[in-house]
């Protein structure tokens, strides 16, 4: 399991207040009009929150660490995910692998 530790710079920006904004977030996945059970997650920035940009920049480089990823023809290394502006896509070979990536 990956546990993110707040960098010292966040203490300057009232880390306890920011931490409170992001306490116990949940998400639900919708595929082909089927909505799956909501689950909690540990890595989050809220869309539209002024702190999101700062938090995103601090943590984005580590977001795919420890994830298995997928094989892509023509590439030697597996790809764990894709980044688009302030969005991330996790790639996995199967639903089980995606779940393992999410948990770790």
What tens digit of pLDDT does each residue of 15-74 get?
666 666 666 777 788 888 898 888 877 656 666 777 777 777 777 777 787 788 888 899
Gyration radius from the chain CA atoms = 15
Q: Which residues contact 84 (CB under 8 A, 6 or more apart)?
A: none
- What does pTM read for this prediction? 0.46
Return the domain boundaries, the chain. 1-62, 66-104
């Amino acid at each position: 399991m990956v546990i993110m530790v707040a960098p010292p710079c966040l203490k300057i920006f009232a880390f306890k207040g920011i931490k409170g904004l992001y306490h116990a977030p949940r998400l639900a996945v919708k595929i082909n009009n089927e909505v799956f059970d909501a689950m909690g997650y540990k890595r989050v920035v809220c869309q539209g929150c002024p702190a999101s940009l700062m938090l995103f920049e601090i943590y984005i480089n580590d977001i795919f660490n420890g994830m298995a990823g997928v094989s892509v023809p023509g590439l030697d290394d597996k790809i764990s995910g894709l980044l688009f502006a302030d969005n991330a896509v996790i790639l996995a070979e199967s639903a089980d692998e995606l779940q393992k990536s999410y948990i770790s």
